[in-house]
């Protein structure tokens, strides 16, 4: 009898100890274990580079073929007014895109890694920039004073809007709406018919035609003094890559 009573007393004491330990540990959510689970490594970040740097994009397909074209090759393309044309590459320019981490006069311009080509075929410049392909078949040589008076104020207004405002200006023979501004460095210039040299640095303004001037394009190149380029306003058309028929 004594052994039975002693056993019952020990069972009650053990039960009380278990209840006290449970209260000290605190409640656990249903289905959760107290065992620590090792965490898997964090996935690599896909955030854009600091400062909003434009991403360097390798060229493939027709843009890649256009960028790799060389002097002497023939380019066949569709002109919006003149139909199918073929021209021989007489000169080639390769532009390096530049950017600033912050928009400040003291902030240096550095390459993004993107290189875009333009090919001179005698009377026309076929010009690639970002996702755009231009056929530029007329131009004006322009002075710094003319740029400052006719174009620069509108480019500044576009830049101050973080390049989101619809800014239009008049330049013969039509009205134009700015689509892009920036800066470039001439990585290389080969062949003849070019009014610039390797190492030239300039700013650009790209604009599209208005409702009565659709598909027309304006490209302004404003070179730094002494850098080796002639300030030029190009007029022409924006075409699609489907209009580039062949390079051979």
pLDDT in tens, 41-76: 443 333 333 345 566 667 789 999 999 999 999 999
pLDDT at 56: 63
pLDDT at 54: 64
Residue with the bigger pLDDT between 173 and 55: it is 173
Whole-number average pLDDT of the chain = 83
Q: What angle do CA 212, 130, 175 make, to 5 degrees?
A: 20
Mean pLDDT for 165-178 is 94
- 212 contacts 186 by C-beta, under 8 angstroms: no
- The confidence band for 239, taking pLDDT boundaries of 50, 70 and 90, is very high
pLDDT at 42: 41
Distance CA 145, CA 158 (A): 20
Structure tokens at 174: 């039509």
pLDDT higher than 90, residue 166: yes
pLDDT at 189: 97
pLDDT higher than 50, residue 186: yes
Q: What angle do CA 84, 86, 87 make, to 5 degrees?
A: 145
Mean pLDDT for 228-239 is 96
Residue 68 host element (H or E) = helix 61-68
Mean pLDDT for 223-231 is 89
- The confidence band for 215, taking pLDDT boundaries of 50, 70 and 90, is confident
Distance CA 46, CA 220 (A): 35
User: How many residues in the chain?
Assistant: 248
3-state secondary structure of 219: strand
Mean pLDDT for 217-223 is 97
- 102 contacts 117 by C-beta, under 8 angstroms: no
Mean pLDDT for 18-44 is 41
Structure tokens at 28: 């656990």
pLDDT higher than 70, residue 221: yes
Mean pLDDT for 28-32 is 40
For residue 218, which of 158, 163, 173 has the smallest C-alpha distance?
A: 173
pLDDT higher than 90, residue 17: no
pLDDT higher than 70, residue 181: yes
Question: Using one digit for the tens of pLDDT, what is the confidence trace for 84-121?
Answer: 999 999 999 999 999 998 888 889 999 999 999 999 99
pLDDT at 210: 84
- The confidence band for 9, taking pLDDT boundaries of 50, 70 and 90, is very low
């Amino acid at each position: 009898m004594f052994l039975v009573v002693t056993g019952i007393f020990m069972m009650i004491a053990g039960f009380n100890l278990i209840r006290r330990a449970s209260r000290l540990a605190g409640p656990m959510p249903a289905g959760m274990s107290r065992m620590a689970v090792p965490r898997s490594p964090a996935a690599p970040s896909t955030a854009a580079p600091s400062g909003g740097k434009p991403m360097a994009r390798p060229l493939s397909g027709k843009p890649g073929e256009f960028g790799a074209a060389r002097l002497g090759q023939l380019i066949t393309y569709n002109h919006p007014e003149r139909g199918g044309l073929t021209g021989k590459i007489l000169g080639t320019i390769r532009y390096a895109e530049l950017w600033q981490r912050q928009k400040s006069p003291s902030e240096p311009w550095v390459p993004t890694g993107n290189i875009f080509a333009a090919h001179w075929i005698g009377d026309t410049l076929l010009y690639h920039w970002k996702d755009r392909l231009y056929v530029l078949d007329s131009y004006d040589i322009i002075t710094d004073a003319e740029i400052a008076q006719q174009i620069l104020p509108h480019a500044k207004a576009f830049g101050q809007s973080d390049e989101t405002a619809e800014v239009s200006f008049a330049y013969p023979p039509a009205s134009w709406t700015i689509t892009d501004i920036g800066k470039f460095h001439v990585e290389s210039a080969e062949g003849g018919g070019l009014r610039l040299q390797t190492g030239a640095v300039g700013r650009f303004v790209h604009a599209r035609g208005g409702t009565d001037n659709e598909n027309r394009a304006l490209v302004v190149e404003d070179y730094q003094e002494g850098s080796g380029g002639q300030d030029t306003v190009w007029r022409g058309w924006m075409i699609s890559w489907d209009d580039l028929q062949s390079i051979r």
